[in-house]
């Protein structure tokens, strides 16, 4: 008998093998792998770098359905492995920290109650009133490198802007904000595939310090609050005061809420500014179009442009965890009770079944219902703030440093390789000094 095993028919080559996921090459450009998955295995079971097995959902239509499917819970107690005490999912340190009751870990009716309360304090109006402060922060950061002619846009711009912005909004006093910058920097530096934390001790310590600080701040603000709201009241005071049918947030819930606002609104916005700037630097015609429209005082292209940058190479690669509370079928695939499901926003937003020429960056794109901010009841609460920060950051950068360009070859850039987030480690640029 032939030693090689069964002969293959030369006319029928085997289908291309499934691409390797979660390698460094994948981190640099996951889109070819996502195209393969959308076509050949749209609901695909895979082992994540952390060892947890999960379903990846890559087609737009399935992704949108999954994000709004009440049978998919956000609560990790529904994970089949939770029953075995493996507990590998979540923010390091949060379990012991009593921070589990945040919006991204809970379902209705608790989610409905907490979301309604926080929405009373974190309003689009509060964000709009914050616009001058964001502009001031943006200018101050650019002042720090504008005369030098070169900068690392991640470390000097995209990273500090969101952390200072959220600290300001929450009401963290200026003298304490650099501590937050250090703790957040530790978390960002050590985000690793599948974990959300590298040297877990260091990250967990930073999480703990933030948590302790926020708990104390909330406690002291609560004690100092008067009977009526001050006109310039900060968000933490607003959270403490928010009431719905006579209900308030407990001190623990307010701390968890402040923490998730920081956690959800920090690395995402770093990546929006980083990935967005990078995409513009790689598409000179699009960037020129944007610069011309801004010079003419037209802000419309900036608004559609930010949405397109989110679709094209958004900050959140995979939506956060969901767990099947019962057996269900998604995209024709049976999913067992307790199985984790990860919706791949980055893949859904490049689906040719929904978007015309999905791999083309088109800042003028109008038909753009991207899933970059999620969909359904967990739709991003911070979207107005993220839009404000993204628009202000990109507009100011391109106006003040009009000839800004990459200082290295794109192949020399390193991506962080996190599982949930997609972002650059650094973004070296050059420009004519101001
Ligand atoms: C939820 C994206 C900025 C606060 C989400 C979700 C996505 C997302 C995809 C849904 C996750 C899921 O369904 O599993 C983004 C992007 C941002 C951004 C792309 C920046 C460009 C912010 C900011 C804040 C924030 C600035 C607040 C300061 C939240 C909160 C949730 C959330 C609290 C949970 C909402 C809920 O569960 O009801 N975000 N986000 N995000 N985001 Fe954002």
Q: What are the pLDDT digits (tens) for 30-40?
A: 999 999 999 99
Does 24 or 283 have the greater pLDDT score? 283
**What average pLDDT score do residues 21-37 get?**
93
Q: What integer best gives the mean pLDDT of the chain?
A: 88
Average pLDDT over residues 135-157: 98
| Mean per-residue pLDDT, 367-371 | 98
The pLDDT score that the predictor gives to residue 3 is 36
ipTM of this complex prediction, to 2 decimal places: 0.99
Tell me what pLDDT residue 98 has.
55
% of residues, the chain, pLDDT over 70: 87
Tens digit of pLDDT for each residue in 62-93? 999 999 999 999 988 888 776 554 545 555 44
Mean pLDDT (whole number) for 199-221: 81
For residue 199, pLDDT beyond 70: no
Measured from the Cα of 162, ligand 1's closest atom is 26
Residue 348 reports pLDDT greater than 50: yes
Q: Which atom of ligand 1 is nearest to the CA of 390?
A: 21
Q: Flag whether pLDDT at 198 surpasses 90.
A: no
Report pLDDT for 100.
57
Distance from residue 379's CA to the centre of ligand 1 (Å): 7
Atom of ligand 1 nearest to the CA of 103: 37
Q: Report the residue among 91, 130, 264 best suited for mutation to probe ligand 1: largest number of ligand atoms under 8 A from its CB.
A: 264
Could you tell me the distance, in angstroms and rounded to a whole number, from the CA of residue 433 to the centre of ligand 1?
Answer: 35
Residue nearest to atom 7 of ligand 1 (CA): 373
Residue for token digits 């202000």?
Answer: 392
Distance 382 CA to ligand 1 centre (A): 6
pLDDT the model gives residue 11: 44
Q: What is the pLDDT of residue 312?
A: 98
Kindly state the average pLDDT of the residues 165-178.
93
Overall average pLDDT of the 111-127 stretch: 93
* pLDDT interval class at 196 (50, 70, 90): very low
Mutate to test the pocket of ligand 1, among 162, 268, 269, 345 (most ligand atoms within 8 A of CB): 268
Q: How confident is the model at residue 10 (pLDDT cuts 50, 70, 90)?
A: very low
User: What's phi and psi for 341, nearest 5 deg?
Assistant: -130, 130
Distance 9 CA to ligand 1 centre (A): 51
Q: What is the DSSP string of 364-433?
A: T-------TT--GGG--TTHHHHHHHHHHHHHHHHHHSTT-EESS-GGG--B---SSB--BS--EEE---
What is the predicted pLDDT for the residue at 205? Answer: 82
The answer to whether the pTM exceeds 0.80 is yes
Average pLDDT for 132-136 = 97
Give the model's pLDDT for residue 41: 96
CA of 163 to the centre of ligand 1 (A): 15
Has residue 222 got a pLDDT over 90?
no
Coil/strand/helix, residue 46? strand
Q: Are strands 340-343 and 53-57 parallel, antiparallel or unpaired?
A: parallel
pLDDT of residue 83: 52
Quick one: which of 314, 328, 331, 336 has its CA closest to 54?
336
Name the residue of 382, 384, 392, 420 to mutate for ligand 1: max ligand atoms within 8 A of Cβ: 382
Q: What is the DSSP string of 79-132?
A: STTGGGT----SSTTTTTTT-TTSGGG--TTHHHHHHHHHHHHS-HHHHHHTHH
Distance CA 118, CA 284 (A): 41
What is the mean pLDDT of the segment spanning 322-330? Answer: 96
The lowest-confidence range among 79-88, 150-159, 370-379, 384-393 is 79-88
Output the ligand 1 site: residues, CB below 6 A: 67, 103-104, 115, 166, 260-261, 264-265, 268-269, 272, 314-316, 319-320, 372-374, 378, 380-382, 385-386
Angle (CA) 312 331 315, round 5°: 25
Segment 282-299 shows an average pLDDT of 97
Q: What is the pLDDT of residue 4?
A: 39
Q: Whose CA is nearest to atom 5 of ligand 1?
A: 380
């Amino acid at each position: 008998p032939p030693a090689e095993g069964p002969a293959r028919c030369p006319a029928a080559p085997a289908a291309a093998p499934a691409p390797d996921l979660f390698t460094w090459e994948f981190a640099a450009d996951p889109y070819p792998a996502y195209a393969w998955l959308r076509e050949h295995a749209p609901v695909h079971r895979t082992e994540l770098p952390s060892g947890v097995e999960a379903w990846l959902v890559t087609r737009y239509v399935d992704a949108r359905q999954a994000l709004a499917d009440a049978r998919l819970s956000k609560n990790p107690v529904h994970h089949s492995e939770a029953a075995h005490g493996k507990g590998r999912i979540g923010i390091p340190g949060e379990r012991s920290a009593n921070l589990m009751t945040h919006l991204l870990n809970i379902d209705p009716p608790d989610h409905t109650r907490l979301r309604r309360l926080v929405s009373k304090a974190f309003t689009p109006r509060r964000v709009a009133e914050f616009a001058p402060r964001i502009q001031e922060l943006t200018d101050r950061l650019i002042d720090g490198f504008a005369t030098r002619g070169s900068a690392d846009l991640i470390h000097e711009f995209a990273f500090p802007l969101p952390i200072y912005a959220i600290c300001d909004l929450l009401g963290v006093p200026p003298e304490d904000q650099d501590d937050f910058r250090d703790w957040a920097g530790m978390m960002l530096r050590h985000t690793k595939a599948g974990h959300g934390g590298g040297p877990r001790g260091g990250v967990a310590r930073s999480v703990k310090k933030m948590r302790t600080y926020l708990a104390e701040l909330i406690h002291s603000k609560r004690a100092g609050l008067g009977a009526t709201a001050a006109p310039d009241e900060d968000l933490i005071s607003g959270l403490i005061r928010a009431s719905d049918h006579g209900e308030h947030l407990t001190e623990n819930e307010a701390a968890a809420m402040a923490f998730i606002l920081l956690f959800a609104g920090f690395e995402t916005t770093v990546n929006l500014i980083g990935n967005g700037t990078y995409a513009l630097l790689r598409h000179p015609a699009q960037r020129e179009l944007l610069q011309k429209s801004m010079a003419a005082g037209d802000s419309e292209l900036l608004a559609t442009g930010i949405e397109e940058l989110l679709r094209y190479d958004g900050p959140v690669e995979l939506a956060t965890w969901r767990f099947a509370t019962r057996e269900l079928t998604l995209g024709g695939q049976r999913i067992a009770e307790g199985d984790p499901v990860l919706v791949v926003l980055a893949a859904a937003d490049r689906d040719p079944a929904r978007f015309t020429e999905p791999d083309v960056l088109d800042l003028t794109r109008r038909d753009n219902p991207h899933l970059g901010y999620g969909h359904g009841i967990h739709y991003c609460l911070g979207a107005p703030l993220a839009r404000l920060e993204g628009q202000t950051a990109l507009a100011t950068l391109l106006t003040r440093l009009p000839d800004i360009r990459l200082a290295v070859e794109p192949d020399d850039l390193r991506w962080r390789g996190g599982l949930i987030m997609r972002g650059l480690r650094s973004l070296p640029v050059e420009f004519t000094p101001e």
